Amino acid sequence: MNKDFLSVADLSRERIFKLFALAADLKQRWKSGRRGAPLAGRSLALIFEKQSLRTRVTFEVGIVQLGGRAVYLAGNEIGLGTRESVPDVARNLSRWVDGIAARVYAHATVEGLARHATVPVVNGLSDFEHPCQALADYFTLWERGVDLGSMRLAWIGDGNNVCHSVILAGALVGASMVVACPPGYEPNAGVVATVRKLGGKLDITYDAREAATGADVLYTDVWVSMGQEAERVQRTEAFSRYQLNETLVGFAKPSALLMHCLPAHRGEEITDTVLDGPRSIVLDQSENRLHAQKAVIFELLGGSLDDA
């Protein structure tokens, strides 16, 4: 792994499976009561420009479970890029903490932090990628015994930051993927090119039923993300045929698993009966954000299993 984890593309196929194994080990150790402190004395700064439930709690709890501590810094508290420049924040934090996790609006911000920090920087979400989410997603499927190399994953909805990370990770693990979205909402062309350069099997369609047909996994996300509120009416109309509901699920395999990165706008991109149904694994995904991120910070901050 590089010094930082800003993009799924920072990983190799070998590294992503090693992280799965490490996450499983750390998860099992914690649940069985073997609660060592491999990162004792280490600290992780959490820079959050955006609101958060899962990302904040899982990073804070994760570093504590590994024996370290977190320092939470809200964007308006430090004035990232306004009161103080991104390079100056990165350089100062590098003198005090052992790592930085940042949940930001612009991907350029997390790139700037990584460029100027001497400690590892983890992308906790940007407008371009959400690599920790995708790592947890595929770890969840791997943990359930899904053959990642033979499965078909259908992404239904916006070709957004989460979609970017999901299709990049899918390329690394060998999954076959299809993205169904309205015209104009396709994933970034550069990301698609990288997926194909990595050998990824990816199709893009405007037909949600075509994408769902024969799928092993159906995945969706909100139609209107933070910062896109002014586009709500336009987006709701554009995505109205892309709701993950009982009818669409019926085109997938009977054993298909249903995924959502949360938070969900119930009744918009997904119905209650699908989100809360027996094939939904959204809470497993949510729980595994904790363990997948523990694996990332364990590796980046130089943990040892002898101390775990």
Which candidate in 130, 164, 260, 291 is catalytic?
A: 130
Query: Would you tell me the crossing angle of helices 161-173 and 189-197 to the nearest 10 degrees?
Result: 10
Q: In this structure, how many other beta carbons lie within 10 angstroms of the beta carbon of residue 173?
A: 20
Active site annotation includes 91: no
Active site annotation includes 164: no
Find residue 227's DSSP bridge partners: none
User: 222 by DSSP, 3-state: which?
Assistant: coil
Residue 301 has which token pair? 């901050």
Active site annotation includes 35: no
Which candidate in 56, 235, 289, 291 is catalytic?
A: 289
Q: In this structure, how many other beta carbons lie within 10 angstroms of the beta carbon of residue 284?
A: 17
Q: In this structure, how many other beta carbons lie within 10 angstroms of the beta carbon of residue 207?
A: 12
| Residue of 86, 109, 158, 167 whose CA lies nearest to 134 | 167
**For the sheet containing 43-48, what is the strand order?**
69-74, 43-48, 99-103, 121-125
Which candidate in 54, 65, 133, 243 is catalytic?
A: 133
Active site annotation includes 289: yes
Residue 7 identity: S
Active site annotation includes 228: no
Active site annotation includes 103: yes
Which candidate in 181, 261, 291, 293 is catalytic?
A: 261
Cα dihedral: 4, 282, 53, 302 (round 10): -30
Which candidate in 103, 107, 235, 260 is catalytic?
A: 103
**Do 19 and 11 meet the contact criterion of CB atoms below 8 Å apart?**
yes
**Do 155 and 179 meet the contact criterion of CB atoms below 8 Å apart?**
yes
Angle subtended at Cα 288 by Cα 77 and Cα 303, rounded to the nearest 5 degrees: 75
Which candidate in 4, 164, 221, 243 is catalytic?
A: 221
Residue 204 has which token pair? 């893009």
The CA–CA distances, whole Å, from 238 to 7, 47, 60, 158 equal 28, 33, 37, 10
Q: Give me the active site residues, please.
A: 103, 130, 133, 221, 261, 289
